Amino acid sequence: MFQGSIPALITPFKNGQVDEQAFQDHVEWQIEQGSDALVPVGTTGESPTLSHEEHHRVVELCLEAAKGRVPVIAGTGSNNTAEAVSLHKHAKDAGADAGLVVTPYYNKPTQAGLLAHFKAIHDSCDLPIIIYNIPGRSVIDMNVETMAELSKLPNIVGVKDATGDLCRPLDTYLACGPDFCQLSGEDATAVQFLSAGGRGCISVTANVAPKLCADMQRAWREGDIKTAMDIQFKLMPLHNAMFCESSPGPVKYAAELLGLCSSETRLPLVEIAESSKERVKAALTSLGMI
């Protein structure tokens, strides 16, 4: 259903407000550069600090700019089940192709709570769900048994796996079957994830290097493993720089250097340190991008 390079889109700001033109220009550029799908209002899109109205608007802006040329997977997660249901219904009504639903952060639900949370969202409307499992941010880890149980529901179609555990996609494949769509949530291990049964990567780096990320994924699909690895080696300094501080601070600074948008973030995120800026600049320079 979904594959390849899928940027987790930044949300540009200008004087504290969503920069709608910059965002839609960014969507257009992503498609021109070969991105295979788009994720608005995920964590990289600063969804925790968007109002509900802004969240809805960014999803709508993405769909309007994409014009059906690539799938749109809208971030619809929350640690409040009722809020996640509302966001998921809006994404369905707006025309999104799926919702990316993060495991509930801070609440620390049990595996039974995770089952109930995702089933409630699933039952709320007929929109495919990709589970977003990211223990590093949400604290909890959805285990393979829970995911296998959820995969039996018709509209739970896959996972964005940001566990960093490269045994996990193999175990998930065995538990959930070959049709369950596994997408990496970590740029640095994107190729290794493909070799373990993955189909693509929901990427931070693709915000600023979309063609390279798309070419790498395409090379893998075509069986050209050497080219895929050559591109990944080339991208590694940039992957590492994108996470030298909390995302999306570094990637927004990179986007500013490339003239895509302002590096402005919302509190509690702040401007990245000078040492981090130098690291981002060096990574972009190594790729001939600046």
CB 73 within 8 A of CB 99: yes
> Would you please indicate which residues are annotated as catalytic (active-site) residues?
132, 160
Q: What are the CA-CA distances from residue 250 to residues 114, 204, 275, 277, 288 (Å)?
A: 31, 10, 11, 7, 18
Taking only the tens of pLDDT, the chain with its 290 residues reads: 899 999 999 999 999 999 999 999 999 999 999 999 999 999 999 999 999 999 999 999 999 999 999 999 999 999 999 999 999 999 999 999 999 999 999 999 999 999 999 999 999 999 999 999 999 999 999 999 999 999 999 999 999 999 999 999 999 999 999 999 999 999 999 999 999 999 999 999 999 999 999 999 999 999 999 999 999 999 999 999 999 999 999 999 999 999 999 999 999 999 999 999 999 999 999 999 99
pTM for this entry: 0.97
Q: How many residues does the chain have?
A: 290
What's the fold here for domain 4-222? Answer: TIM Barrel (3.20.20)
Asked, as a colleague might, if the bond just before 248 is cis with ω within 30 of 0, I would say yes
Residue 25: strand pairing partners: none
Mark out the alpha helices in 200-264 (DSSP H runs).
Answer: 210-221, 225-241, 249-257
Mark out the alpha helices in 125-209 (DSSP H runs).
Answer: 135-138, 144-150, 168-176, 190-195
Six token digits for residue 87: 């966001």
CB 10 within 8 A of CB 208: no
